[in-house]
Chains A and B, each alone.
Chain A
Amino acid sequence: MNHDAYPDSYIREILNGVKSIAMVGASPVNVRPSYFAFKYLAQRGYDMIPVNPGHVGKNLLDKPFVASLADIGRPVDMIDIFRNSSHIMPVVEEALRLDPPPKVIWMQLGARDEAAAARAEAAGLKVVMNRCPKIEYGRLSSEISWMGVNSRTLSSKRAPVPTQGMRLSLNRTSVGGGETAASDRAAKNRNDAT
């Protein structure tokens, strides 16, 4: 894989395929990029697991922090690493010891470790470096276009409604209460005449 220019098809397949994502270095501080990404991906339906030994005992958006990947205790599809490049290798080594191992290693914007990527790819995992899954999801879905960002996608199909399906609500304010409408008055007058 050329880690300088991923085809959209590669990223799309990963984001369509994974269901659970463990985020290593997730922060409960709501101005940190990891918090933004965690919240966004959780809202898109991914099963998010925050991994950060400094916050065990606390929750991130109702999900309990775990100290390490080994503590998750169930299979996980993707590891999203929110750490500096110098801290990537130990996380990848830990991920490869999981049984079953994850399918994808994703290193955040600014994070690259060629050796760790090579090791994960040799074990059959897909690797993404120096990208943000929130930005890529927003770009490929074109939601990020609302911010004037170039999604580098085109479509002539009607877009899906941005929230959970278009179900028209019955909870609208009714206008009425009495003989306010001309048609009501007309009907009443007709009855009066007969």
Chain B
Amino acid sequence: MNDRLPGFATLAVHAGAQPDPTTGARVTPIYQTTSFVFNDSDHAASLFGLQAFGNIYTRITNPTTAVLEERVAALEGGTAAVAVASGHAAQVVVLQQLLMPGDEFIAARKLYGGSINQFTHAFKSFGWNVVWADPDDIGSFERAVTPRTRAIFIESIANPAGSITDIEAIAAVAGKAGVPLIVDNTLATPYLIRPIDHGADIVVHSLTKFLGGHGNSLGGIIVDAGTFDWSRDNKYPMLSEPRPEYHGVKIQETFGNFAFAIACRVLGLRDLGPAISPFNSFLILTGIETLPLRMAKHCDNAKAIAEFLSGHAAVAAVNYSGLAGNPYNNLARKYAPKGAGAVFTFSLKGGYEAGVSLVSNLKLFSHLANVGDTRSLVIHPASTTHSQLDDAAKARSGAAPDVVRLSIGIEDKEDLIADLEQALEG
């Protein structure tokens, strides 16, 4: 078994975890503690000076969370990961390492509505300027590059319409521009797409969705691919220059191919503070153990439901890239051959009113603002997740007023189809 490469399902169960050294507990214990005692004052000084690996305070590291981090890093094929309180927190922490006030990053227009808000409004007050590009037009990314560009941000499977992004083409643009490609892989999970294999330098997730998978815990994570050289020019001083808060330590020089994850932890998480609860880490970790089983079922159900809706007289259009004839079907076959995910949209011939009626008639689908639950979910993006956008931006991001979004769960698909059938008739 020497140097054998384990398969995905084996990593989903084992990576990062080991029986507890003190008690022998086989399942990773919940280390629900704020702080950790030092062996002696020299040990304390070593930990604070980044000279030793170990725990100080749960805002920075925690043994339960560390298992979650290593597991996701292993599943994504990265060198290291940093778990945080939410997917939004992951985005703040990542960009804090990359952008100074006045810098820019390029983002795909087709994103989760909350990310569009965060980038447009919240980050403006930090002086981080988002420049939008169209993931269906690679040239729009090339044209958006300026000397102030510090990163490119895309979603692998884009919310809400489940469209697939050509990661390799955009990675080539990032490589030419000398900036890292950040991929939000929330809707795909590493089971369907591993963005690092296609050229991503950083992967972020909302763990709240399919990775945790049970709709019970918020979390986010940042995975460092270990691929980017932060020191080849002076664009990334957080990683290449001596850090005054650590008496002159240079992060990349000291930590090599997991320097970005260390920067996120000791400069981002430490100083901004969005730590994940160890209890949430435990629940998400338990969820990840069944990720391969759940994703297969999510995708199988989603395809069956997309096919059912495509053939229904009341339905105007179904946007599921797993269907032949969908504009993203070729990209789906290339990037996500095991399945095109379980989040997609469709529109009804009866327009907005029919959508509202459908949502209220459903009995198994839950009407709420989340995706990636064991339960099937439904929402009207134009009035909720994407409501802050104007009509043109709604349409551009795939959330036109007549569109309904589904997140298909792992129930029996026959029951889900029956529920949709009765709701469409109602």
Contact = CB atoms under 8 A, between A and B. Distances in A.
A146 B52 CA distance: 10
Interface string B7-43: 0001100111011111010000000000000010000
Interface string B63-78: 1011101100110001
Nearest to B39: A163
B249 A31 contact: yes
Interface string A134-145: 010010001111
A158 B69 contact: no
Contacts of B249: 31
Nearest to B60: A147
Contacts of B67: 145
A7 B3 contact: yes
A155 B66 CA distance: 16
A99 B54 CA distance: 39
Given A31-B246, A33-B253, A142-B18, A158 B24 contact: yes
Interface in A19-56: 30-31, 33, 35-36, 39-40, 43
A154 B55 CA distance: 21
B14 A156 contact: yes
Contacts of B55: 146
Nearest to B54: A146
A148 interface: yes
B43 to A, nearest CB: 9
Contacts of B73: 148-150
Could you say which of B18, B83, B262 has the most chain A C-beta atoms within 10 Å of its C-beta? B18
A143 B53 contact: yes
Contacts of A147: 53, 61, 66, 80, 258, 261-262, 265
A162 B254 CA distance: 23
Interface in B71-121: 73-74, 78-83
Interface in A81-135: 109-110, 132, 135
A157 B49 CA distance: 31
Nearest to A162: B21
A150 B80 contact: yes
Contacts of B63: 146
Contact of A148 (B50, B70, B246): B70
A161 interface: yes
B51 interface: yes
Given A31-B49, A149-B80, A154-B10, A135 B256 contact: yes
Interface in B288-312: none
A160 interface: yes
A172 interface: no
Query: Interface extent on B, as a size class?
Result: 35 or more
Contacts of B10: 154
Could you say which of B11, B55, B255 has the most chain A C-beta atoms within 10 Å of its C-beta? B255
Contacts of B49: 30-31
Nearest to B68: A148
A149 B19 contact: no
Contact of B66 (A31, A43, A145, A161): A145
Given A39-B46, A155-B18, A146 B256 contact: no
A16 interface: no
A151 interface: yes
A148 B256 contact: no
Contacts of B18: 142, 155-159
B234 interface: no
Interface of A: 7-9, 30-31, 33, 35-36, 39-40, 43, 109-110, 132, 135, 138, 142-152, 154-163, 166
30 contacts: A7-B3, A9-B3, A30-B247, A31-B242, A31-B247, A31-B249, A33-B253, A33-B254, A36-B50, A36-B254, A109-B253, A109-B256, A138-B53, A145-B66, A145-B70, A146-B53, A146-B55, A146-B63, A147-B53, A147-B61, A148-B265, A149-B70, A149-B80, A150-B73, A150-B79, A151-B70, A154-B6, A154-B14, A156-B14, A162-B21
Q: Which 9 A-B pairs have the closest CB atoms?
A: A148-B69, A150-B73, A159-B21, A149-B80, A158-B19, A109-B256, A36-B51, A154-B14, A31-B248
Given A8-B2, A9-B3, A148-B66, 13 more contacts: A31-B247, A146-B55, A147-B80, A147-B261, A149-B70, A149-B258, A150-B70, A150-B73, A156-B14, A157-B18, A157-B19, A158-B24, A166-B22
